[in-house]
Each structure stands twice: as structure tokens, then as C-alpha cells.
Amino acid sequence: MSFDGFGDEAFAFYEGLSADNSRDYWTANKDRYERHVREPMLALVAELEDEFGESKVFRPHRDVRFSKDKTPYKDHQGALASGGSLYVQIDADGMMVAGGMYSMDGERLKRYRAAVHAPASGKALEALVDELRDAGLEVAGATLKTRPRGFDADHPRIELLRHTGLYVRRGWPSDPWMATPEVVDRVRESWRLMRPLGDWADTYVGPPGFSR
């Protein structure tokens, strides 16, 4: 199955789901989802597998067991590659790609802070983040409002230490080129830029990487 792009029907499906996130809407439009969203996403990640490895395409149902939000379906379709550090998503607004560490807690967060604090690994991350920002990528991720416990407020990398998630992203609106194979080239180019951040995380933090 070759990838030919995400057509208008993919974005229209999510516009409808945003307005009516219900089982009735899903049942009536499931074929549209399979044909215009899931199948093209599977084809897209298959095109990229030779360089970035096998991908995981997420299921459309939300896990609402521990959430106050009981809407049953996700308002986007996402997929993970490269061991979980690279991500692609489409929704009603267009497409987004990202890479890095979406969230960290427990031992992973301790390892991250230790690596940021250490001069060699910390300066390497600082330089990498600056390089990615200069390349036009947005640096994102949840942060603490204050310094993490055990670190001085004047630490040279205090802004990085405040992160509990650190990733970069790039997005595009649902323009006509998305209905063409050009999508593959844009995702590939972006993932190549982002992959060093995932490599840093693999070395100093450990899996998992970017997950939603």
C-alpha cells in the first residue's frame, strides 16, 4: 500500500468528531476513519520504516478510566517511531511532527536532571536544543514554575532542569500538498533533525521517549 497523502476527508472527519465526539458519530463514520485516516497513516509510516524503524499507530479510543474527560475518541491520529522518540499526528487543523521526551517522571526524571547537571552531557543537550531552535523547530514540554529541589536557581542550565518533558515540534495547516506524497519528504526531513534529541535521551535517560 503506497502513501498518496491525507485528503480533505481526513481533516473533515476530525472536524466532525470535534463537534460530536460520540459513539453515534463514530459508528456512522468509521469507514471514513479507516479509509482516509488510519490506512494513509499506516502507509506513511511504512514509507519511513526503512530509516526510522517500525512504528506504532495508536488506537482511536481514549482510555477514560482515570480521566475526568469521558469523551470516547481521540481528536487526532498519532504514530510513534524510532523506539518512541519520534511522533507524527494529524487532526482537524493539519499535521504535526515531534521528537524527544514528551513526559518524564520517577527514575527517568532523576536521570534526566543528573545528565543536564553534568557538564559534558548537559552542555551537549544545551547546544542541541539551541541548534534545533535555530533550525526553526519549536522547543516545548512541561516545566516546573520554580527550580527543581536540590538545584540552585543560578544553575547555568536551570531552564533545562525545570523541564519534566522536553521535545521539539513542527506543524503545518491542512494545505493542498498534504494530499500528495510530499508529506513523506517533510516528515522524513523533520525527523532527521529531531532524531539527535531522541539519541541523547536514549543515552542518558532511557526509554520510553515521546508518547502521548
Query: How confident is the model over 2-37, as pLDDT tens digits?
Result: 899 999 999 999 999 999 999 999 999 999 999 999
Residue 7 has a CB neighbour count (10 Å cut-off) of 17
Mean pLDDT of the 100-120 span? 95
In percent, the amount of the chain with pLDDT more than 70 equals 97
**Helix crossing, 106-117 with 182-204: angle to 10°?**
80
What is the distance of C-alpha 147 from the center of its chain? 26
To the nearest whole number, what is the mean pLDDT of the chain?
A: 94
Residue 177 has pLDDT above 70, yes or no: yes
Query: Which domains does the chain possess?
Result: 8-204 (3.30.930.20)
Residue 186 has pLDDT above 80, yes or no: yes
In whole angstroms, give the CA distance from residue 197 to residue 209.
10
The model's pLDDT over 25-68, given as tens digits with 9 standing for 90+, comes to 999 999 999 999 999 999 999 999 999 999 999 999 998 888 88
Mean pLDDT of the 171-180 span? 96
Predicted local confidence at residue 206, as pLDDT: 84
Q: What is the dihedral of CA 203, 206, 209, 212, to 10 degrees?
A: -170
Instruction: Decide if 141 contacts 101 (C-beta within 8 A).
Output: yes
61 φ/ψ sector (left φ>0, alpha ψ -120 to 50, else beta): beta
Predicted local confidence at residue 209, as pLDDT: 54
